Amino acid sequence: MRILACSDIHTSRPHAEAIVDHASRADVVVIAGDLANQHRGLEPVVDVLRAIEKPTVLVPGNNEQPGTMAAACEGWTHARVLHGASVTIDGVPFFGLGGGVPVTSFGSWSFDLTEADAAKLLEACPQQAVIVSHSPPHGVLDVTSRGAHAGSVAVRAAIARVGSPLVVCGHIHDSGGRFERLGGAIVVNAGPIGFVIDLDASEVVALPR
């Protein structure tokens, strides 16, 4: 399975159009949240992405709520918005977790979860699932411009517990556009330009900038 992964488009029409153009290279498209900016501009970006005709998994970032993401994607038959839920595509389970984890310092507009709330939702993650989490696992591609690790302990624990082969995340822009390994998992902080991941061969290829 070939997966096209991106995150943190933040209302950028050019980035959304580029993802649409590259979708033909993949079997599944994964978008790890933050299409909007502080809950504004979500619908126009989704309207661009609707041209994707491959199965598409989305999670809400901290810049949108699960309900508003689901509403914006209504009628897009290829899209599945996941938050604390999973879907199986061509025999591969995908589990989604949205929001900022742990709670951010951005204020009341940000859709955030405590580590405890995230851990509770992650209990439903199937074994060997591809995890699509807006927040990265703690200690992996989660370093901010101030040098702090801002990823989620709950996400990291779930990766180990279910034996996830792939984690697609975003959220921490300073560590975006990169991938690393965490045990047997490939962790991709995708960023708006994105990557194509060959799940069977465990290969990650950056899209042209």
In tens digits, the chain (209 residues) has pLDDT values of 999 999 999 999 999 999 999 999 999 999 999 999 999 999 999 999 999 999 999 999 999 999 999 999 999 999 999 999 999 999 999 999 999 999 998 999 999 999 999 999 999 999 999 999 999 999 999 999 989 999 999 999 999 999 999 999 999 999 999 999 999 999 999 999 999 999 999 999 999 87
Pairing of strands 185-189, 195-198: unpaired
Phi, psi of 87 (to 5 degrees): -145, 145
Which CATH superfamily, name and number, covers 2-206? Metallo-dependent phosphatases (3.60.21.10)
Pairing of strands 195-198, 2-6: antiparallel
CB within 8 Å of 95: residues ≥ 6 apart: 82, 85, 86, 122, 124, 125, 126, 129, 130, 131, 132
CA distance 56 to 187: 19
Domain ranges across the chain: 2-206
- CA torsion through residues 174, 124, 38, 58, sign: positive
Query: What predicted TM-score, i.e. pTM, was given to this entire model?
Result: 0.97
Other residues' Cβ atoms within 10 Å of the Cβ of residue 34: 25
